[in-house]
Amino acid sequence: MHRGQKAAGIRILTKIMVHAGQDIEQLTADDFTSTASGATRRAAAESGQWAAWDLLRGIGVIPADRTLRDELCPGSQSTAALVDFYGITNPEIRTVLIRYLNERRPHLDYSTLRNLVTQLAGLFWADIEAHHPEVTTLRLPCEVAEAWKQRMAFRKADAGGSRRPRKAVIEALTNVRAFYLDIQEWALEDPSWAQWAAPSPVRKADTTGQAKRRKAQQSWSHQRIRERLPHLPILIASAERHRDDQAELLVKITAVPVGDVVEHGGRTYRRVISKLAVRDPARFPAPQAWAEDVDTGERVDAGWAEDDAF
């Protein structure tokens, strides 16, 4: 870790200690990730977080085998956490959603579970709470159910005010209907479900055409593939040329000392160092491969460009 990275890491740790009100030896991974995730939500994640994490690992505050990526991307979440993402305010409805989804979870892969949570908690009940806050049970009045189904048929309006039809509307309606019917069936065997048993707001007729819709979706997907397939070799060739071009520039620019020029792709590049490195070499060590177009003055980090092209 160079001095600039270490300085950025120390600044991050100072902010975390102030935020948590703890000395550095008392910090935990939760103290770190709560600050880091907060910055990410504000779209202002600071550089130095990775260095700060490595500093904590280096002094033994955090186990050496725990990475920041693992902390910020924890993988599958609990059912309660998935439901709570949609901000369900009714505790009874939240309880039955979590219990129902936990019953279904062992038989679903994680992606299917998340989709089901989105449909039941997000598209269904969160929408009911937003438009009909007076409704507090699963027993929906007919006018509420019909209004919800009409909203379900279209996505939210875009910036121009237009609304597109929702492609997966029948799938969502089918899952809401299954939610109600499952509870009705389970209540016959387990009385603890009886308190939530209610008529389904989705009639069987509302879910007809699922097979036809799925076939239409497949046809649409296949048509898009057929339209794009002829262009695939062109895209691959273009990507390979770009990768080879950036790799060649990197080789040429690293083969000469700072200040020398090289010819590449009909343009002349001079190897330079970062302006920040010139002003403060202690904090910003010179990158390995900065190239400046002699004619335009445009600068590119050839190492980063080659890695990105690869």
d(CA 151, CA 155): 8
DSSP annotation of 270: E
User: Which residue has tokens 């880091």?
Assistant: 36
Residue 116 has pLDDT above 70, yes or no: yes
Average pLDDT over residues 171-188: 94
Q: Residue 80 in contact with residue 61, Cβ under 8 Å?
A: no
pLDDT at 210: 59
Average pLDDT over residues 282-308: 77
d(CA 271, CA 252): 10
d(CA 6, CA 164): 50
Instruction: Burial-class residue 133 by CB neighbours within 10 Å (0-12, 13-18, 19+).
Output: exposed
Q: Which residue has the higher pLDDT, 72 or 152?
A: 152
Q: Which residue has the higher pLDDT, 123 or 222?
A: 123
Average pLDDT over residues 196-216: 81
pLDDT at 2: 65
Single out the residue of 129, 29, 52, 42 nearest to residue 89, CA to CA: 129
Beta bridge partners of 222: none
User: Which residue has tokens 């699963």?
Assistant: 138
Which residues, 6+ apart, have CB-to-CB distance to 52 below 8 Å? Answer: 8, 9, 10, 12, 13, 16, 32
pLDDT at 45: 44
Task: Encode 39-101 in three state secondary structure.
Answer: HHHCCCCCCCHHHHHHHHHHCCCCCCCCCHHHHHCCCCCCHHHHHHCCCCCCHHHHHHHHHHH
Phi, psi of 76 (to 5 degrees): -65, 140
Instruction: Burial-class residue 95 by CB neighbours within 10 Å (0-12, 13-18, 19+).
Output: middle
Percent of the chain at pLDDT above 90? 32
Residue 305 has pLDDT above 50, yes or no: yes
Region for residue 208 given its phi and psi (left: phi exceeds 0; alpha: psi -120 to 50; beta: otherwise): beta
pLDDT at 285: 57
Phi, psi of 267 (to 5 degrees): -130, 155
Residue 199 has pLDDT above 90, yes or no: yes
Residue 75 has pLDDT above 80, yes or no: no
Q: For strand 267-272 and strand 299-301, is the pairing parallel, antiparallel, or unpaired?
A: unpaired
pLDDT in tens, 121-157: 999 999 999 999 999 999 999 999 999 999 988 877 6
Average pLDDT over residues 250-277: 85
pLDDT at 42: 38
Average pLDDT over residues 28-48: 56
pLDDT at 254: 87
Phi, psi of 290 (to 5 degrees): -80, 130
Supply 145's token pair: 């159910």
Average pLDDT over residues 98-108: 93
Beta bridge partners of 271: 291
Mean pLDDT of the chain: 82
Residue ranges of the domains in the chain?
3-72, 79-208, 239-309
Residue 287 has pLDDT above 50, yes or no: yes
Q: Residue 303 CA to chain centroid, in angstroms?
A: 27
pLDDT at 39: 47
d(CA 261, CA 270): 4
Average pLDDT over residues 37-64: 66
pLDDT at 157: 66
Average pLDDT over residues 155-178: 81
User: In this predicted structure, which of 34-48, 78-92, 250-264 has the lowest mean pLDDT?
Assistant: 34-48
